[in-house]
Structure 1
Amino acid sequence: MTGLRYPRPLAAGDRIDVPAPSMGVPTSLHARLDDAVRDLRASGFIVEVGDFARRDGLVPGPASARQAELMATFAGPARAVLPPWGGELAIELVDRTDWAALAEDPKWFVGWSDISTLLLPLTITTGVAALHGANLMDEPWELPTEFHRWTDVASLPVGASFTQTAAPHRRSRPWGTWEEEPLGRDAAYEAPTVWRALNGDDDVKMRGRLIGGCLETVSLLAGSRYGDVSGFAQRHAPEGVIVYLEVSDSDAATVLRTLWALRLSGWFDRASGVLIGRTTAPDVPDLTQSEAVERALADLGIPVILDFDTGHQPPQMPLVNGALAEVELVSGHGRITQHLVP
């Protein structure tokens, strides 16, 4: 037994709360927020949007107020906590948050980008699983048939497993106005995409407990108890960990430095594999994004998969921090199975 804990399955009629621990939504995008809420309600959920979620600016309120809203959300009747999206300064809440209190009645904490700054400490410090790969503002888009929606994953009982395969297409075009956004999967994702092994192999396999998030934000936790991936592996992952990371907008030199910082902090000491998400972040002269990963990780002796379906270039599949996962790349075809086992 690893001691991993999972929130109870989400069911129709359950409440989903929407706090904004990082950034709120500007008035110009309230229509998108309202459409996302409408979609969740149409699926049978009660959705309560917090006051901060509709506020503009770098942050919607002081760190103390955002932390209080988050704590109140976890103490309340909601069964899932779904921020509107990421932002910049969720790290202000990390040391203020009573993580043990959040774990007393585990709820599905769902998000990505800057929200992974909070998902990671929850799983690492308490052993409670968290769900990376969706936020409220993503809700209106139809996912590829190869993926599961986050609500479907959160509805699974402990002991269940689910399998997803690589998306055949990704989004490559710039973001337009909300009224012009195509939401159907065939129009939303128009450019071919495929997972690939860092070493060029056609066949790659890895098995371990998933842990990770946005490189720019979770890397800030390395060296603290909130980002102690090696300690998490010792306590909860005798199988080893699969570290997944995605780059938002850092250039290749910054990515190389950051991956090395994680390496020096022990993030890959007990890793059985690494998943690197797609990115549109820039290269620099003499160094591409792929070369940055190669220079930092190639000599670890573990498989590394690039262009995995996570990150700031949609679509991205839900990944459960703490779940036992098996990842395969066979003849260029990618597949991941996640087991919600303690």
Structure 2
Amino acid sequence: MLKPDFLQAEDRIRIVAPAGKVVKEKILDGVNLLSQQGFEVITGDHVFNYCFQFAATDQNRLNDLQQALDDPHCKAIICARGGYGAIRLVDRIDLTAFRKHPKWLVGFSDITVLHARLQQEGFCSIHGAMPGFYLKDNQPTESFDKLIETLTGKHSAITVSSHPLNRAGQTSGSLVGGNLSILYSLMGTPLEPKTDGNILFIEDLSEYLYHLDRIMHSLKLAGKLKNLSGLILGGFTEMKDNDSPFGQTAPEIICDAVKDYHYPICFDFPAGHIDRNLPLVFGAKHHLSVDIEMAVLETI
């Protein structure tokens, strides 16, 4: 897949809000931090509007996103937040100008929908932190620092400590995926994940354990887990159970769904709805190595 050009000093970044309502105070310092790195930062006209739970009406959110996609001088589009709403816009996006002047798209959670659209078109994008996660205790987070490194072409390998449920092995393939619930919602659409021969990354937030089990077995029935090159599990945060317990943890549920297959598996990867949300270049070729001591993911 095609990687857009990496950013240099004074390049333009546009901030858009294609999904949930944005609280200005939660992202403004993060947006300002981007400017302090030497980039020209332009915030979409409707980022701080709202329409019920959405950041502005569908049309206004689309207008901001389309303007960013069309801008020939923009080198990266960073989504203000996730939430819900990108799926209401994705089939109305015009990528004609984007194809002539590709740019990085950055975000996670609901932004998985937009990553899927760009992968369908043959472009890489970045699953990474959004402005509300750039600062902690008034200091730039590792998630922010690593995102800037990735945007400027300095992306490095990510090493992860061992996990008792990891499955050892080495593999290579294009990295695809995102938020598991969003991927599940795209099944049966033109944007459903293409997993054969690829390394699949998944993460999720606040799902019931029985629903996680349903998702995993649905993906298995659809053949989406059988021919993976590898599987990477990010944060499965604030998972919920019923009064009558399901009886398995999230990692155990996932292991059970893929027990018939033999590709490498890495748990507790630092990406998702967690403080340490390191950037992943979706669409790019990666090498995954998992052994008893650690797992390493690197672009190739």
Using the size of structure 1 for normalisation, the TM-score is 0.78
Inter-partner Cα distance in structure 2 for 1:304 and 1:83 = 29
Cα separation, 1, equivalents of 2:22 and 2:59: 19
- Shift, 1:295, TM fit: 2.2
Query: Equivalent of 2:240, from 256, 267, 282?
Result: 282
Equivalent residue runs for 1:217-256 within 5 Å? 217-230=182-195, 240-256=197-213
8 A Cα contact 1:197 1:304, kept in partner: no
Unaligned runs of 5+ in 1: 167-193, 234-239
Look up the match of 1:237: none
Query: Sequence identity, in percent?
Result: 28
**Equivalent position SS for 1:337:** strand
Letter matched to residue 62 of structure 1: T
CA contact (8 A) 2:233 2:267 kept: yes
Picking from 176, 179, 185, the partner of 1:214 is: 179
Query: Quick one: which of 219, 228, 244 aligns to 1:262?
Result: 219
Residue 32 of structure 2 is aligned to residue 35 of structure 1: no
Name the SS of the counterpart of 2:135 in structure 1: coil
User: Which residue, out of 90, 99, 114, partners 1:118?
Assistant: 114
* Aligned match of 1:75: 70
2:92 corresponds to 1:96? yes
- Give the corresponding residue for 1:14: 11
Report the CA distance shift for 1:249/1:14 in structure 2 as closer, same or farther (over 3 A).
same
Alpha-carbon RMSD: 2.2
Deviation at 1:148, TM superposition (A): 5.7
Question: How big is the shift at 1:37?
Answer: 1.7
Q: 2: distance between equivalents of 1:228 and 1:204?
A: 23
- 1:116-195 pair list within 5 angstroms: 116-123=112-119, 125-141=120-136, 142-144=140-142, 149-156=146-153, 162-166=156-160, 194-195=161-162
8 Å CA contact 2:171–2:229 kept in 1: the answer is: yes
In structure 2, the residue matched to 1:85 is: 81
User: 2:291 is matched with which residue?
Assistant: 330
Work out whether 1:205 is the aligned partner of 2:162: no
Alpha-carbon distance, 1:88 to partner: 1.3
SS of equivalent to 2:268: strand
Q: Distance in 2 between matches of 1:302 and 1:218?
A: 20
Separation in structure 1 between the aligned mates of residue 155 and residue 116 of structure 2, nearest angstrom: 21
Helix, strand or coil for the counterpart of 1:207? strand
C-alpha distance in 2 between matches for 1:34 and 1:91 = 25
> Of residues 20, 24, 41 in structure 2, which corresponds to 1:23?
20
2:104 aligned with 1:108: yes
TM-score by length of 2: 0.89
Q: Is 2:234–2:271's contact at 8 Å kept on the other side of the alignment?
A: yes
